[in-house]
Amino acid sequence: MSDNPLPASQSLQQPHKQIPEMELSDFIKLMKSHFGIGCEPSDKEYLVRFVSKPYSEQAESCRALSVMTHNKGTRLSPHNIKQVLAKFDISEKQFMEAHDLLMNKRVTPIRPDLKEAS
């Protein structure tokens, strides 16, 4: 019982965030700004390559992964996002925290506060 700190009824009530499908441009920004993972174009259509520091294939410590995009190269599926996270040892929890920060920055009020005329 010590393996599960919450009773089953409570653990089922907590919402579990799933990794969403994302715009490729948003995913690239998130990976670069929060995790230092760069992106480079590929010679194959709809294929994108993610590269870790030192951003050089000649360096032994450099990790890289190419994944397929869809919607004419503009979107990335949750499955392919999970592949990138696994390759660069990023947990889904870390990713979702960074995703929430990115999405909260993009939200703008529909109607900005109006200042009363004096």
Q: What are the pLDDT digits (tens) for 9-61?
A: 444 544 567 899 999 999 999 999 999 999 987 888 889 999 988 766 666 66
Write down the pLDDT at residue 15: 57
Query: Is 64 part of any domain?
Result: yes
Asked if residues 82 and 92 have their Cβ atoms less than 8 Å apart, the reply is yes
- Domain extent at residue 41: 18-103
Phi-psi bin for 115: left (phi > 0), alpha (psi -120 to 50), beta? Answer: beta
Query: Is 29 part of any domain?
Result: yes
* Cα separation, 46 vs 5, whole angstroms: 44
Q: The whole model's pTM is what?
A: 0.72
Asked if residues 12 and 21 have their Cβ atoms less than 8 Å apart, the reply is no
Query: Is 50 part of any domain?
Result: yes
How many domains is the chain partitioned into structurally?
1
**CB burial of residue 73 (10 Å; 0-12, 13-18, 19+):** middle
Query: Is 1 part of any domain?
Result: no
Query: Is 12 part of any domain?
Result: no
